[in-house]
Structure 1
Amino acid sequence: MTAIPPGSTIGILGSGQLGRMLAVAAAQLGYRCHIYAPESGPACDVAAAFTQGDYNDATSLAAFAKAVDIVTYEFENVDPRGIAHLAPIAPVRPGSRALDISRERPTEKGFVRDQGGTTAPFREVTSLAGLEAAVAEIGVPSILKTSMFGYDGKGQARLASPDDATAAWETVGGQPSVLESFVTFAHEFSIMLVRGLDGATVHYPAPLNVHRDGILATSTIPAPALVQTQVEAAVALTTKLAHALDYVGVLTCEFFATADGPVFNEMAPRVHNSGHWTIEGAVTSQFENHIRAICGLPLGSTALTGASVEMDNLIGDEADQWPALLAEGDAHLHLYGKHEARPGRKMGHVTRVWR
């Protein structure tokens, strides 16, 4: 195993805030970052280079790959076919198999079940008639989610009655979807696991995640006692998934804490919003550990830097609170540099560490 040394260039697919924080962490270790995306974004402000191009543009992707020493990605909606243009030229970590599985919900849930995980009952749906049949089979309340591209509550519709099927199908635009039965749960939490190039793994303490309007609002450490009793099983499953994928980097799995144990919700093959607290709240942030992993460096400690930590997302015009947040003194403010604050848009976050 040969490490990619500081001074090398890391290519990042995607120009959002996750890419921005990856680039900052990489710079602290002496790496340069080169962003590739269809449009400029927050990551471009802190990177050494930016290539504007489509994720399926074979010529642009090949030129990008030749300009970097390794490629990673900041979000999972990159077409795996695009990765095929990169891999023969520069190593891509995590590999395309994680994208293949995580980008489509039915495939992802089937993979998790095959690895011994528990998911909500679900059915793949490709038509209104199929949705009506799925509702009859798994019942209501349930939730319809597009198979691809949904995030932060987008591409979803809830069904309280079988009569809601037509409206739900219209809400998701008649796209291929998955119908999931509602899960009765007490809490939501996530496991952020890091797997190195040598197969070694570390994981962060599991945060309690609270969502508002389908968007993560807060992540808090330590999580409630019920979550603590389910972390071991959730980590074991996440580790099993990472090994099965031959994964390198940060892998995040979201879970429901139920009376019967952890129920898998979603997998993200990347650094994750619920781990932003690690920048100040852990010895090594998720962003630095992702860079360490993909470059073949030793993984850093995931221990807490305080007794408790809370991260609050700043959504839309909540970012306008920056003067008051800075006046707190011990609040760690992160603004992503987005030019327009829209409802539901993540504009930044603030972390507080209590010692």
Structure 2
Amino acid sequence: MIAAGAVLGVLGGGQLGAMFAEAAHRLGYGVAVWDPDADAPAHRIVRHSFTQSFADPHAFDSFTRLASVVTYEWENVPWMLCRDIEQRKPLRPSSAILKLIQDRIVQKDCLRAHGFPVPRFAVVSSPEHLSEAVAEIGCPAVCKTATAGYDGKGQWRIRDESDLVEVREAFRATGRQDLRWIVEPLVPFERELSVLAVRGIDGEMVVYPIAENEHDEGILRKTIVPARISPSLAAQIGELARQTVSRLDGIGVFCLELFELSGGQILINEIAPRPHNSGHYTLDACSVSQFEQQVRSICGLPLGKVGLTTPAVMVNLIGDDATRVTQGDCAALLAGPGSVLHLYGKRTVRPRRKMGHVTFVASRQETALERAFHLQDCLSKTAIT
């Protein structure tokens, strides 16, 4: 067990890193953030801040001497850096898990090999092989970069042969011959779901309520908790999460992104080895948030209970939403009961950038849903005018 007073290291200083730091501070820990982006939000709330390149050997030495245990808030941090850190200090989740999850092909191969349900997929290693892969999978399909890419970046929808031109051009524009891409069917899902599973160093596990998600152009827009699914399906998903994280031998917070098909079949889309945007509701609707669980799990503390204190609906604030939400009719919605605003303090506003979120909590899910709908409608109208 890593006792209070120790310094916890986190790679990445975005909003997830900042929320982790806040939870760690509340439990009596110091935090060291390493993120080359000097404007990353977490840098402003921690005592130990590293803004050097991840390749800087002096920063590596100082960071690893300072931290008692290290985690990460983003799965695209260099896995080789994590491997090297692991030679000096505990890294949770491990660098082996990070390496596996960073490559969508390796991740899905592993899941399929262990009997976990994933969509069909084909691997593309050159632009010339794209047509063959699409013919194997069928249209409509989606092509994704095997590594990197998030919030819809590095993804292309393929409705017919004419869409292949843009994808091939994007492939060639990289100028690299070592990249691999993955082609999957555009899954005809009933719902997009997600579930948080937390595993401690002693193997103890807790699973949060299932979340129902709505995306817009690959970016999460709204999360509804609990998901509007049957108790039996919720139990099935919870067990799937337990089995998957146990098979990975993971320590920390994991999020399984899922598709629910007609008939109740579940497919695993991707796994995130960290707290997740769809889990932000836990800050306001659970006694122990996903970020506190991250601290507890990597430090060897007992895990907290995960039951909902109230139904919740979370709405992401993207780009200019963060300024519009505090104006006019939108601001009036925030003054209502059960409305909780979170702004991430990012200095630069960009389209498609997550700038904050609003969580609506209410004793009745319908009430929270209605308030969330009104906020989305208000944001949309404000954007038009």
Partner deviation per Cα, 1:115-142 (whole Å, 9 max, x = no partner): 2111111111111111111112111110
Contact 2:283 2:290 in 1 (8 A): yes
Q: TM-score, normalised by structure 2?
A: 0.88
Q: Residue in 2 aligned with 1:337? A: 345
Aligned ranges 1:139-178 → 2 under 5 Å:
139-172=138-171, 173=173, 175-178=179-182
Counterpart among 304, 309, 312 of residue 312 in structure 2: 309
Q: Residue in 2 aligned with 1:112? A: 111
Contact 2:207 2:241 in 1 (8 A): no
Counterpart among 231, 239, 243 of residue 242 in structure 2: 239
- Give 3-state SS (helix, strand or coil) of 1:310's partner: strand
Contact 1:128 1:165 in 2 (8 A): no
Runs of 5+ in structure 1 lacking a partner? none
What is the RMSD computed on CA atoms of the aligned residues? 1.5
Q: Distance in 2 between matches of 1:185 and 1:326?
A: 32
Partner deviation per Cα, 1:127-168 (whole Å, 9 max, x = no partner): 111111111211111000001111000001111112322222
Query: Structure 1 residue 326: deviation in Å?
Result: 4.2
| 187-196 or 53-62, larger mean C-alpha shift | 53-62
- Give 3-state SS (helix, strand or coil) of 2:320's partner: helix
- Give 3-state SS (helix, strand or coil) of 2:84's partner: helix
Q: Distance in 2 between matches of 1:124 and 1:352?
A: 41
Q: Distance in 1 between matches of 2:47 and 2:20?
A: 13
Equivalent position amino acid for 2:130 in 1:
L
Q: Distance in 2 between matches of 1:10 and 1:286?
A: 16
Q: Give the 3 Å change call, closer, same or farther, for CA 241–54 of structure 1 in structure 2.
A: farther
| Residue 225 of structure 2 is aligned to residue 221 of structure 1 | yes
Query: Structure 1 residue 210: deviation in Å?
Result: 0.4
Q: TM-score, normalised by structure 1?
A: 0.95
Query: Structure 1 residue 329: deviation in Å?
Result: 4.7
Query: Structure 1 residue 231: deviation in Å?
Result: 2.7
Runs of 5+ in structure 2 lacking a partner? 364-385
Q: Distance in 1 between matches of 2:216 and 2:238?
A: 25
| Residue 214 of structure 2 is aligned to residue 206 of structure 1 | no
Q: Residue in 2 aligned with 1:257? A: 260
Counterpart among 2, 7, 10 of residue 9 in structure 1: 7
Equivalent position amino acid for 1:242 in 2:
V
Q: Distance in 1 between matches of 2:18 and 2:104?
A: 27
Q: Residue in 1 aligned with 2:52? A: 53
| Residue 24 of structure 2 is aligned to residue 29 of structure 1 | no
| Residue 77 of structure 2 is aligned to residue 83 of structure 1 | no
Contact 2:207 2:242 in 1 (8 A): no
Partner deviation per Cα, 1:70-124 (whole Å, 9 max, x = no partner): 1010000112110122112211111111111110110111111122111111111
Equivalent position amino acid for 1:214 in 2:
G
Contact 1:156 1:171 in 2 (8 A): no
Contact 1:62 1:86 in 2 (8 A): no
Q: Residue in 2 aligned with 1:189? A: 193
Equivalent position amino acid for 2:225 in 1:
I
Equivalent position amino acid for 2:259 in 1:
F
Contact 1:196 1:299 in 2 (8 A): yes
Q: Residue in 1 aligned with 2:183? A: 179
